[in-house]
């Protein structure tokens, strides 16, 4: 697992991919923060809530290549014939993406420290928000790696992941406009909404069920990715 | 060392492997021969644990590939048909990554350097794999398989797409590796197998059609009972005259070679020398015998013969 993690993490920075991801992340979070400063607001959570959309847009970039490239270059053959478990391989790749993602959201720590020079920030709110953004990313990355494992093409993986994440983002909007015949979908969509749970974190609520919700996405989609790889053996 | 028994693989309705059994002894170089699509890669993929078999078992060094995959895989170095290379890595980074992936315990620097020396990739050690020529990539693939000093090397068509000089180099490399490893080498090119392997397993349409030493294979199928004749005379009459010779098993016209001259392929009964009799018959009728040579079957002919037989059985 560590070998795969190390390779993938390095891999992000031996191509423009990692740099582009980080640059765009830094640009937008910096942009949100400077707006905050310009308006002399001290609520760091405003930066975090704006990051939801940015993260949705950028996560597919991190995951599109993870599994699809292996499939295309037939490197899955290397992993499946090496004396390692498939779970370790998938997890190594997943954690590498998580690590790059964490670097991407790390500047928010810096922003809060800057805020601290003007006012006393509520560190609990910051921690809760940071934790939420990390969880959100972890769940989305898990979806992304799964999508990537189902195709040989990076482009297909990216577009599919976009579509899925955007769709999830729209759940709250869809709920308000459901035709009466489909109203039975309302509780389902509300339950699956990433945004409303994320917003709960933003308003300072640390709900255990929300944590479990995001963690289960991580577990389920990593598990599915492993199954996709294993399925190949039995096909 | 390697035991394959009753291996069967189905892709849906398509039977890719049909009850294939063979074994490989320690230190042997086994040639795995068959036309394209015969099931060579499928067999190798099952041996290495990449695919599962529909039926049958594979044991490597006493470890079943299904029940004890990690131990079995530790004993194998595999070079698939398309070497599994990360193009955006340097040779150095890639080999170190493989070293970590296989959790090798040998001294890192020395081990990797030694392998690079053996497959001669020292001069490209710090270059990106995507900038390497096909021959070098293939060698990096072999190096990758050798990391961790596995007892068994499984090489799937290692010379495909290389130029003749590179082919000879890779062949020599495999031969030298054979001194320390058990090797299974697949190919659809006969001279390659002939040059490198001691034993050959021939597979055709998913069936095992031969399993013998290269020398034995040629001996069994081509005793000096086959001749090629070049005779100046009317085809049909010559044919029937030849057939009337006692001890003649088969006469076949291969075609017209010159005006009035035909070539024949004949097969005699075992332990009968019919060359003198042929000459006698022909001279009686004044049909000049322009050529007589024993046509010892090359491995190529044997191969065609075996694989065609396999087809007919189906």
Per residue in A187-213, pLDDT tens? 888 888 898 899 888 888 888 999 999
* A82–B contact, CB cutoff 8 A: yes
Chain A residue numbers touching B16 (CB-CB < 8 A): none
Reduce the DSSP state of residue B302 to 3 states and report it.
helix
Strand order in the sheet with B261-268: B248-258, B261-268, B226-232, B289-294
Cβ contact A11–B84 (<8 Å): no
User: What's the half-sphere exposure (Cβ side, CA atoms, 13 Å) at B223?
Assistant: 9
Q: What is the pTM of this model?
A: 0.83
pLDDT given for residue A9 in this prediction: 95
Could you tell me if B82 lies within 8 Å of chain A, comparing CB atoms? yes
CB contact under 8 A, A84 and B84: no
d(CA B201, CA A100): 49
| A181 near B CB under 8 A | no
Question: By the CB < 8 Å criterion, does A73 face chain B?
Answer: yes
Give me the pLDDT at residue B224, please.
Answer: 58
The question of ipTM being above 0.90 is answered as: no
Could you give the dihedral angle defined by the CA atoms of residues A42, A45, A51 and A52, in that order, rounded to the nearest 10 degrees? Answer: -160
pLDDT at B298: 61
Model pLDDT, residue B314: 35
- HSE, side-chain direction, 13 A CA sphere, residue B85: 26
The nearest alpha carbon in chain B to A84 belongs to: B70
CA distance B100 to chain A (A): 5
Minimum Cα–Cα distance from B99: chain A residue: A3
Ordered by start, the domain boundaries in chain A are 2-234
Residue A154: strand pairing partners? none
A234 contacts B100? CB cut-off 8 A: no
B104–chain A Cβ distance below 8 A for any pair: no
Q: What is d(CA A189, CA B51) in angstroms, rounded to the nearest whole number?
A: 39
**Which residue bears the tokens 């809530």?**
A49
* Residues 12-71 of chain B whose Cβ lies under 8 A from any Cβ of chain A: 45, 48-52, 69-71
User: In chain A, which residues have their Cβ closer than 8 Å to the Cβ of B127?
Assistant: none
- Burial-class residue A183 by CB neighbours within 10 Å (0-12, 13-18, 19+): exposed
pLDDT digits (tens, 9 = 90+) for A27-78: 999 999 999 889 988 888 889 989 999 999 999 999 999 999 999 998 999 9
Across the interface, which of B52, B82, B101 has its CB nearest the CB of A4? B101
pLDDT of residue A171: 87
- The shortest C-alpha distance from A74 to chain B (Å) reads 6
Contacts of A6 in chain B (CB under 8 A): 97, 100
Structure tokens at B208: 């095992």
pLDDT in tens, chain B (314 residues): 899 999 999 888 888 888 899 999 888 899 988 877 888 889 999 999 888 888 899 999 889 988 888 899 999 999 998 999 999 899 999 999 999 999 999 999 999 999 998 888 999 999 999 999 888 999 899 999 999 999 999 999 888 777 888 888 888 888 888 888 999 999 877 777 878 888 888 888 888 888 888 777 766 554 557 788 889 888 888 888 888 888 888 888 888 888 888 988 888 877 777 888 888 888 888 889 888 887 666 666 667 777 775 444 43
Answer yes or no: are the C-beta atoms of B183 and B29 closer than 8 Å.
yes
> Does the distance separating the beta carbons of B86 and A7 come in below 8 Å?
yes
Query: Cβ of B84 and A10 within 8 Å?
Result: no
Rounded to whole angstroms, the Cα distance separating A101 from A99 reads: 5
Residue in chain B lying closest to A69 (CA): B86
Residue B312's pLDDT is what?
45
The Cα B30–Cα A160 span in angstroms is 46
Q: Do B51 and A233 touch (CB under 8 A)?
A: yes
Identify which of A4, A11, A76 has the shortest CB distance to residue B88: A11
- Comparing alpha-carbon positions, the chain B residue that sits nearest to A74 is B84
Distance CA B110, CA B100 (A): 15
- pLDDT given for residue B311 in this prediction: 46
Chain A residues touching residue B50 (CB < 8 angstroms):
77, 80-81, 233
pLDDT of residue B299: 61
Provide the b/e sequence for A204-226 (b: ≥16 CB within 10 Å): eeeeeebeebbeebbeebbebbb
Q: Answer whether A231 touches B (CB < 8 Å).
A: no
CB-nearest partner of A84 from B71, B86, B101? B101
Judge contact between B222 and B231, C-beta under 8 A.
no
What SS3 class is residue B30?
Answer: strand
């Amino acid at each position: 697992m560590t070998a795969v993690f190390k390779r993938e993490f390095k891999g992000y920075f031996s191509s423009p991919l990692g740099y582009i991801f980080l640059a765009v992340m830094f640009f937008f979070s910096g942009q949100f923060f400077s707006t905050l400063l310009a308006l002399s607001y001290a609520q760091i959570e405003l930066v975090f809530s704006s990051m939801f959309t940015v993260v949705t847009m950028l996560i597919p970039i991190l995951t599109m290549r993870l599994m699809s490239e292996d499939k295309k270059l037939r490197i899955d053959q290397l992993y499946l014939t090496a004396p390692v478990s498939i779970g370790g391989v998938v997890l190594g790749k997943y954690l590498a993406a998580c690590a790059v993602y964490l670097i991407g959201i790390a500047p928010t720590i810096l922003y809060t420290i800057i805020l601290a020079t003007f006012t006393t920030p509520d560190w609990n709110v910051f921690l809760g928000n940071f934790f939420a953004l990390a969880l959100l990313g972890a769940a989305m990355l898990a979806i992304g790696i799964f999508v990537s494992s189902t195709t040989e093409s990076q482009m297909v993986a990216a577009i599919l992941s976009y579509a899925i994440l955007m769709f999830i983002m729209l759940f709250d909007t869809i709920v308000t406009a459901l035709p009466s015949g489909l109203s039975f979908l309302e509780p389902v969509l509300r339950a699956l909404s990433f945004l409303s749970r994320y917003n709960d974190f933003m308003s300072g609520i640390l709900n255990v069920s929300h944590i479990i919700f995001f963690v289960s996405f991580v577990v389920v989609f990593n598990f599915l990715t492993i199954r996709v790889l294993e399925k190949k053996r039995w096909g | 060392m390697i035991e394959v028994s009753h291996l069967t693989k189905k892709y849906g309705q398509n039977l890719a492997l049909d009850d294939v059994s063979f074994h490989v002894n320690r230190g042997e170089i086994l040639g795995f021969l068959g036309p394209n699509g015969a099931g060579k890669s499928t067999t190798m993929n099952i041996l290495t644990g990449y695919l599962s078999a529909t039926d049958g078992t594979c044991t490597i060094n006493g470890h079943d590939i299904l029940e004890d995959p990690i131990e079995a895989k530790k004993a194998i170095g595999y070079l698939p048909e398309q070497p599994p290379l990360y193009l955006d890595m340097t040779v150095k980074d890639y080999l170190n990554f493989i070293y970590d992936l296989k959790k090798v315990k040998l001294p890192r620097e020395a081990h990797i350097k030694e392998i690079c020396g053996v497959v001669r990739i020292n001069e490209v050690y710090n270059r990106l794999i995507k900038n390497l020529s096909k021959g070098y990539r293939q060698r990096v693939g072999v190096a990758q398989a050798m990391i961790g000093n596995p007892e068994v090397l499984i090489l799937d068509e290692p010379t495909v797409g290389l130029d003749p000089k590179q082919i000879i180099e890779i062949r020599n490399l495999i031969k030298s590796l054979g001194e320390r490893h058990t090797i299974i080498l697949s190919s659809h090119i006969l001279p390659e197998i002939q040059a490198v392997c001691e034993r050959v397993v021939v597979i055709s349409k998913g069936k095992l059609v031969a399993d013998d030493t290269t020398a034995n294979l040629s001996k069994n199928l081509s005793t000096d009972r086959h001749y090629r004749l070049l005779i100046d005379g009317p085809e049909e009459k010559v044919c029937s005259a030849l057939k009337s010779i006692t001890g003649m098993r088969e006469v076949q016209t291969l075609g017209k070679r010159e005006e009035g001259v035909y070539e024949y392929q004949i097969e005699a009964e075992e332990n009968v020398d019919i060359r003198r009799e042929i000459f006698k018959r022909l001279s009686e009728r004044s049909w000049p015998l322009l050529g007589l040579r024993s046509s010892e079957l090359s491995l190529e002919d044997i191969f065609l013969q075996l694989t065609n037989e396999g087809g007919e059985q189906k």
